[in-house]
Each structure stands twice: as C-alpha cells, then as structure tokens.
A and B are shown apart, each in its own frame.
Chain A
Amino acid sequence: MAATVMEGVLHAFEIAKEERIAAPIEIVFETILEQMGPLNSTPEKPMPMVLEAWPGGRWYRDLGNDSGHFWGHVQAIKAPALLEISGPLFMSNPAVSNLQYRLTEEDGETVMRFRHRAMGWVGDQERGVDAGWSDMLARIRDAVTERARK
C-alpha cells in the first residue's frame, strides 16, 4: 500500500448572496424548503431532492432501489428565519460545506441572505489523483476478468 502526504491541496471559499423578495417571510421559508426539496433544479434540468426539514434531517437525492446521493444534514432550522445545512453536497472530495439561508422582514419585504462556505481538498483531477484511481480501477477490472476466466 502506498501513502502520500499531500501539501497545499486544501482550499476554502465563500459565496454570499442577498435577495429582497416581495413576499411574507413564512411564504419565502416554505418556498426555500420546496425549492431545496422536490422542486430543486439545475439551470438545465429538474433534480428533485428530499429535504427532511428537522434538526439532523437528511438532504439527499433519492434515485430509487437504495441508490442516491447524500448532500448534507440539517444543522439548524428555525422557521421562518433560518435553514442551515452541512455536508459534502455534490463534491466527491474530502470537503465539507455549510449553507445558511437567513430571513428577515424589512419594510414589508423579506430579505434572504445566503452563505455557502466550503473547505477541503478540491480539484483532485487536476492533481493527478484521477489518474491514480483510473490505474487502480483498471487493475481491479483486469483482476475481475482474470477471475471470470478461471
């Protein structure tokens, strides 16, 4: 077994967005749960998620037959002011994210403040790990083929 000590591979980033919405705070909160859950989508296509809206609840893609992709856990929820999620999201890397939707009512509108902070080892393909795993997978495939022949 080979072990490699990696240096300089950890990164962190933050994405912050703020939006003023002409709707009552409880409607905005309910809509966030819907959009993060069954109505979730990418700019290209619908991508329904399951969001269990309670502390410790899971946020995941259910692909049926016990298949799917876990994106995170509800770290804190306080309707209608806060939804906080922590987890790997869709990063198949040793990385963790914290998401926060914070809502306040100001001048008859709802202000939605969003933060996504992430840290970890990002971009393994660019650092040669992809090639390493491809070799490993090729070896496994060869071994399986060899066994099947016997």
Chain B
Amino acid sequence: MLADGQEYAVNEIVVRMKMAQPAVSKHLNALRKAGVVTVVKRGQHRMYRLDALALKPVHDWVRVFERYWTHQMDQIKQRAEQKALERLIRQDKDKK
C-alpha cells in the first residue's frame, strides 16, 4: 500500500489492509525503527510514508550477489554434468 509513495494515516492503513489497529501500529513501528518508513505528525494524525531510499543499499547488495550466485550455480551445474557425462563415456569404453 505504501509502495505508491503517498502518505497515509494509521486509520487509512487499517481500513485498506483490513487489519486490527494495534497490529498495524506494531508493524509500522517496527518498519519505522528499521528506517523503512518515515513518520510526520500532521494535526491529529501521524502520517507514514515509505522511505524507498533507505531500502536502496540492501537492494543493491542483493542484486550484486544474486547475479554472482546465479552465475556460480550455472557454472557448477554445467561443469558437474559435463564431468558426469565424461565418466559415463569412460566407464562405457572400459566395458568394451
């Protein structure tokens, strides 16, 4: 819901998410402590907004590692299957 970058009050999130208010507040508080959402007070309401910039570093690292591990696993699969095939050919030759 917060992904659209807009500000939302807790009661708006409660209605949209169809969750109990204490549960929503608890989640928002955890997200705020983790730096994932920011909160500002406007009159009676505390308005929450996704702080996408705070998530960028971790996304950057995940992207770097995912690329590296995908390459690594492709290499392992390709090489292991090649070695298994070579072993089968060797065993077949030995039988003859």
Contact = CB atoms under 8 A, between A and B. Distances in A.
Interface residues of B, number: 29
A105 B56 CA distance: 38
A35 B68 CA distance: 12
Contacts of B81: 21-23
Nearest to A20: B77
A5 to B, nearest CB: 14
A127 B35 CA distance: 12
Interface string B53-96: 11011101110011111111101110111011001000000000
A32 interface: yes
B70 A17 contact: yes
Chain B residues touching A, majority SS: helix
A104 interface: no
Contacts of B35: 7-9
A114 B71 contact: no
B69 A114 contact: yes
A27 B65 contact: no
Contact of A17 (B54, B69, B83, B87): B69
A41 B71 contact: yes
Is chain A's binding surface mostly helix, strand, loop or mixed? mixed
Contact of B61 (A30, A39, A123): A123
Nearest to A24: B84
A32 B72 CA distance: 9
Chain A interface size band reads 35 or more
B17 interface: no
A43 B77 CA distance: 15
B33 to A, nearest CB: 7
B75 A35 contact: yes
A112 B78 CA distance: 13
A106 interface: no
Contacts of A15: 62, 65-66, 69
Interface of A: 7-11, 13, 15, 17, 19, 21-24, 27-28, 30-32, 34-36, 39-43, 89, 91, 110, 112, 114, 116, 118, 122-127
Closest 10 CB pairs of A and B: A123-B57, A8-B35, A23-B84, A11-B58, A23-B80, A31-B80, A43-B71, A28-B80, A126-B57, A21-B77
Interface of B: 33-35, 53-54, 56-58, 60-62, 65-73, 75-77, 79-81, 83-84, 87
